[in-house]
Amino acid sequence: MKFLKKLAAFALSAVALTSTAYAADKKVVVAYQTDALPSSVAIANGEFAKATGYEIDFRKFNSGADIFAAIASGDVQIGYVGSSPYAAATSRGLDVKAFYLASISGIDEALVVRNGSGINSLADLKGKKLAAAPVSTDHYQLLALLKKQGLSEKDVQVFAIPQPEIVAGYNRGDLDGGFVWDPALTELKKNGKVLITSKQVAEQGAPTFSAWVATGAFAKEHPEFLKNFSGVIEKYYTSFRNDKAAWGPESDNAKQLAKLLGGTAADQAAALGNLNLVPLSAQASDAWLGGGEKSGVAKILKDTAAFLKEQKKINAVLPSYAAFVTPAAVNALKK
């Protein structure tokens, strides 16, 4: 896979050197995805740059796997990623640290099955063609779901392809379903139904999360940036929790998200309503970013890595993933 080759090809020193170079100029490259997040409004209106005092080059990617490849090459210092590609990248030795938990398994990711596919329940999946983005949390949960049903990739054809290709294949009738997030989730639901959500798969033993991560070197050299960056995220999350009217389909926030991420303002408002967010008060707890070895994030990474190794997606599982998690930024915000 292209992702694996890139991770293997670039030495970790390249990341450190690039982070240092950007640090000197107060410039940083931040990778984001198409997920609807309240904080993405701050990408659109420039508030991240204003609050941190840095020149930020925001770059949109289609998947966490692509973001980690860019981090490994030294092109990106901070990224928004899911737990499955995160577990894969850290298992291969990439030095990154999660500093803010963006969301946890909710209904914003789901397995959608096409009308006319003959799938009405999980019992109908055998012999079908399903897809998910490669090395994504959706890919991980789809495989975990199939295993839970006693099915292998010999029983169900699973295609690891980018989301735009999933939408195209689904609309042509080449795929029976896809485990996706927005905007693909909204597109697939137009001619299908949700069979199971990410939250439901998590409750069956395969939890996931998405997080903002920074290279180890950047995190060490720029704790104030990470604090201020996290503060902007928290500001918009707080607004979303406390002022629903400001995030409705006719709101300026929804319109800015649509302009940045695509789709309509109504699409973005609906997608935001599917999020499962973790309050700042809980972020630094042992359940998530805090606690070192007890960290919930570290445990999920290790469990995910074990599953990926079993599926032959990675070669080894590390003894611990605590080194790839830091509560420093969220703790600083609480003071």
Mean pLDDT, the chain, integer: 91
| pLDDT value of residue 135 | 86
| pLDDT value of residue 3 | 41
Q: Give residue-wise pLDDT tens across range 256-307.
A: 999 999 989 999 999 999 999 999 989 999 999 998 888 999 999 999 999 9
CATH architecture assigned to 109-203: 3-Layer(aba) Sandwich (3.40)
Q: Where are the domains of the chain?
A: 2-105+208-334, 109-203
Does the pLDDT of residue 12 top 90, yes or no? Answer: no
The contacts of residue 30 (CB under 8 Å, 6+ apart) are: 48, 56, 57, 58, 59, 76, 77, 78, 79
Q: Give residue-wise pLDDT tens across range 170-191.
A: 999 999 999 999 889 999 999 9
* Class in CATH terms, 2-105+208-334: alpha beta
| pLDDT value of residue 181 | 92
Does the pLDDT of residue 19 top 70, yes or no? Answer: no
Token pair listed for 320: 């611990």
Q: Give residue-wise pLDDT tens across range 35-61.
A: 899 999 999 999 999 999 999 999 999
| pLDDT value of residue 293 | 87
| pLDDT value of residue 71 | 98
Does the pLDDT of residue 107 top 90, yes or no? Answer: yes
Does the pLDDT of residue 4 top 90, yes or no? Answer: no
Does the pLDDT of residue 13 top 80, yes or no? Answer: no
The stretch 62-67 carries a mean pLDDT of 92
| pLDDT value of residue 311 | 85
* pLDDT-above-90 percentage for the chain: 85
Identify any residues that bridge with 96 across adjacent strands, giving them in sequence order.
215
Confidence of residue 24 (pLDDT cuts 50, 70, 90): low
* CATH topology agreement for domains 2-105+208-334 and 109-203: yes
Q: Say what the pTM is.
A: 0.85
